[in-house]
């Protein structure tokens, strides 16, 4: 994609799969992604890298997604059907 980042970190997040900070050129991924299909992880990484090229989800952003990961819409739908985290109650 022609994008370099200064930092990639994995964090426990409650509501997002990933986030990026354009000023720090940093991407954080949700720890729960480790339990998801590899293709869904790739979707989140490409999504966050695209935000380094374009801040909002406008037509330019969508064009980047279409170019770099043509199947992103189906991967997004697949990921959004999955829970962010799985909790087992011990009783």
Encoded tokens for 90: 């011990």
Domain limits for position 69: 7-81
CA-wise closest residue to 78 among 29, 30, 36, 27? 36
Q: Is 87 inside a domain boundary?
A: no
Q: Which CATH number covers residue 71?
A: 3.30.2010.10
pLDDT for the residue 59: 98
Domain count, the chain: 1
Strands of 18-21's sheet in order across: 7-11, 26-30, 18-21
pLDDT for the residue 87: 57
Q: Is 89 inside a domain boundary?
A: no
Report pTM: 0.87
Q: Is 88 inside a domain boundary?
A: no
User: How many Cβ atoms sit within 10 Å of the Cβ of residue 63?
Assistant: 13
Q: Is 21 inside a domain boundary?
A: yes
pLDDT digits (tens, 9 = 90+) for 9-33: 999 988 889 999 999 999 999 999 9
Q: Which residues of the chain have pLDDT under 70?
A: 85-91
pLDDT for the residue 86: 58
pLDDT for the residue 56: 96
């Amino acid at each position: 994609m022609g994008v370099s980042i200064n930092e990639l970190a994995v964090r426990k997040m409650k509501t997002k799969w990933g986030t990026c900070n354009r000023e720090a050129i940093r991407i954080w991924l949700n720890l729960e992604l480790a339990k998801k299909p590899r293709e869904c992880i790739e979707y989140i990484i490409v999504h966050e890298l695209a935000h380094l090229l374009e801040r909002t989800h406008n037509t330019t952003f969508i064009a980047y997604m279409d170019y770099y990961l043509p199947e992103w819409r189906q991967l997004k739908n697949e990921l959004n059907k999955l829970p962010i985290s799985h909790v087992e109650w011990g009783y």
